Amino acid sequence: MSSQTLPEAFRLRAGNFNLLVLRLLDPRPEAVLPALGDQFRRAPGFLRFAPIVIGLDDLEVAPEAMDFRGLVQGLRALEIVPIGTTGGTQAMKQAAQHAGLPPLRPVGGKEAETDLPVPAPAAEAPPPAPQPVAAAPVAPEFQGSGRAAMLVTEPVRSGQRIYAQGADLIVTATVNPGAEVIADGNVHVYGALRGRAVAGAADDATARIFALNFDPELVAIAGFYAVREGLGDAPIGRAVQVRLEGEEMRFAPLG
């Protein structure tokens, strides 16, 4: 059978992803989940459907004592998607794997114990979650930021505050006056940006802000900010990208 005549159905590529790690300090789901739930109530929308890796390094219990299934169910109920584990003893990893959490290897990190290849979990794989490939077997074609992104599809309303920690933030609705969107990476607003936008919150001066309709109360990158009054020359109401050049904020029309 000649492969040239068939349309390509898929391509395999390596990808690096920046993921949040939930380091378990307490093995009991009943202790971890309410605390997490509490934190998310204070920042609604934060981490919604975010893929998360469970860090096992700080656990000092027997693997049999860990209720991974309960933990996974609890996290899903909080709309957090656990996709694997990092660290931990071999036995602990295996226990997690039985609950559908494969071990991930951090980029550049070498595993303390060299693992024998563990058979992939068969039928009980978790429902489709983005599968990160931790180490790139081939050289990547271009150098990305390596950041994950958080997606928000509902309008961000006055008084709401969304923080994409360690990630880019993509908002496909409007950011209303009195709302605040913050990302450690870039902020993209595919709607009107009428509230505040903060990019590079973890001091990344290369982060940028993009907005389809640029009409903000304040923009900030890596601690440098401009309030609306200082945006006299910026192309208000147009598609704009904001970046930092030295200590100067630059506003350029897009498209």
Partner 1 sequence: MAQVIVVTSGKGGVGKTTTSAAFATGLAQRGKKTVVIDFDVGLRNLDLIMGVERRVVFDIVNVIQGEARLNQALIRDKRVDTLAILPASQTRDKDALTREGVSTIIEELSADFDYILCDSPAGIEKGALLALYFADQAIVVTNPEVSSVRDSDRILGVLQSKSKRAEEKRDKVKEHLLVTRYDPNRVERGEMLKLEDVREILAIPLLGVVPENESVLKASNTGTPVIMDTESVAGQAYKDAVGRFLGEDLPHRFLEPEKKPGLFKRLFGGRAA
Q: Which residues bind partner 1 (CB under 8 A)?
A: 41, 44, 77, 154-155, 157-160, 173-174, 176-179, 192, 194
Closest CB 60 distance from partner 1, rounded Å: 33
Spell out the SS3 assignment of the chain: CCHHHCCCCCCCCCCCCCCEEEECCCCCHHHHHHHHHHHHHHCCCCCCCCEEEEECCCCCCCHHHCCHHHHHHHHHHCCCEEEEEECCCHHHHHHHHHCCCCECCCCCCCCCCCCCCCCCCCCCCCCCCCCCCCCCCCCCCCCCCCCEEEEECCCECCCCEEEECCEEEEECCCECCCCEEEECCCEEEEEEECCEEEECCCCCCCCCEEEEEECCCEEEECCEEEEHHHCCCCCCCCCEEEEEECCEEEEEECC
Closest CB 77 distance from partner 1, rounded Å: 8
When the beta carbons of 118 and 227 are compared against partner 1, the nearer one is 227
When the beta carbons of 24 and 150 are compared against partner 1, the nearer one is 150
When the beta carbons of 77 and 202 are compared against partner 1, the nearer one is 77
Closest CB 35 distance from partner 1, rounded Å: 17
When the beta carbons of 124 and 154 are compared against partner 1, the nearer one is 154
When the beta carbons of 165 and 176 are compared against partner 1, the nearer one is 176
When the beta carbons of 105 and 228 are compared against partner 1, the nearer one is 228
Closest CB 194 distance from partner 1, rounded Å: 8
Closest CB 164 distance from partner 1, rounded Å: 18
Closest CB 235 distance from partner 1, rounded Å: 20
Closest CB 154 distance from partner 1, rounded Å: 8
When the beta carbons of 101 and 192 are compared against partner 1, the nearer one is 192
Sequence-separated contacts (24+) of 147-150 with Cβ below 8 Å: 147/18, 147/184, 147/185, 148/17, 148/18, 148/19, 148/20, 148/50, 148/51, 149/185, 150/47, 150/48, 150/50, 150/183
